Structure 1
């Protein structure tokens, strides 16, 4: 994808999203404008129903806007066909969810390999890349353990390794610490901060916890389907 030097990595312009029709129509997004530059760590906050998860789903190509423009590296994503959006997800985006979403009877190594399997890479390439990704998240030696043999924090580290094994441009994290205790939550946030700073991965994270948002460089707050505030932080806890 070609990108103008002045073009942000992600740009949403007057993005709307409406579910349903007629009297039962619900407008989740009412004209969102958002720019995210390469290498930023952005926390997205807001009350339930504010539109923050809908925005993440649109940026992650899991949903499409009803109106407006979504540009990724200058490409109009809203104009792409379904298979083209799938390719964008596969090659440019990594996902981390609150519930880990690991395959229960599958080893950590095999879980991390999954995105590469979908790309059609060889077994040798998958094994090597997955081991490197697990090492990056501090899980060398745990490759053959199943999720049941790992703590919650370790499971989320496997999920992060799976998200970064493809070297994505953007890591989309939806409440990544929601199922973890305080200590493990801060460990995961320190890992995300490290990946952002050392690997240059752009991080977009939905959270409802102020102490987790404190790790981000910027906090965008949604209210009633619109950006209510967009604040650059002077520093963070990392």
Structure 2
């Protein structure tokens, strides 16, 4: 049998000790195959964000195993986990997390700068990533000159510029209106469908989770359900639309 891209086995996460101990994850098991699109749902405090932090190598389990491509992540040093993140993972956040005084191109270049890529190579890759998300011609615009939907597109371009195996998206539509939310979901769906990028997305919105092919729900630190979405939304455009200067977001 083929090894799954990601495997969590009896993963527990505790914070504090004694009377103040908080058990955020209570022995969860989860397998993720390459190329899946998974929505992770659950109420506040359910453990979904803790699980995403572990999946993103931003935290480690207290007990249990996290295997990435068969590699036990919890045995890696901090520097080794950082290298794994740079090579295989891309991150998209609800708040965009763009540098305000920096152009779209320079924002997208940042992961490549940290990786030590040469300037010309960085600029070329960043321009290609912006084109992939429909922002060709907006390379020199700062975040203040872009709508909310366009800013999230820049954030997605930054996440995919390193050609990651996995994109982890934390409430990627949380700050957007309905139209822009579906636009961003269509973009993520297209990246998953056309480029084979595994997408793991935390959301509290059922209509956004409807784009995923699988929905995992957390409750009280455990996986309460793990179901296949038999009829996922398929409204991703064949090519990312070119936003106009009047686009609202």
TM beyond 0.5: yes
| Mapped pair 1:40 → 2:27 | no
- Between the aligned partners of 1:31 and 1:44, the Cα distance in structure 2 is 17
**1:133-181 deviation digits (Å, cap 9, x = unpaired):** 0000000000000000000000000000000000000000000000000
| Structure 2: unaligned runs, 5 residues or longer | 235-249
1:125 aligned to which of 115, 121, 130: 121
CA distance in 1, matches of 2:106, 2:231: 37
The 3-state SS of whatever aligns with 1:231 is strand
For residue 143 of structure 1, give the secondary structure of its aligned residue in structure 2. Answer: coil
Distance 2:118 2:21 in 1: 47
Deviation at 1:233, TM superposition (A): 1.1
Are 2:32 and 1:8 aligned? no
Q: 5+ residue gaps in structure 1?
A: none
**Which of 94, 99, 112 is equivalent to 1:98?**
94
In structure 2, the partner of 1:55 is: 51
Matching residue of 2:201: 205
1:67 equivalent to 2:74? Answer no
Deviations 1:10-52 (A, max 9, x none): 0000000001111000000000100000000000000000000
| Partner residue in 2 for 1:162 | 158
Counterpart mapping for 1:113-192 below 5 A: 113-192=109-188
Instruction: Name segments (4+ residues, structure 1) moved above 2 Å.
Output: none
Q: How many residues align?
A: 234
Q: What's the C-alpha RMSD, in Å, of the aligned pairs?
A: 0.5
Q: For 1:119 and 1:140, how far apart are their aligned partners in 2?
A: 24
Indicate the residue corresponding to 1:26 in structure 2: 22
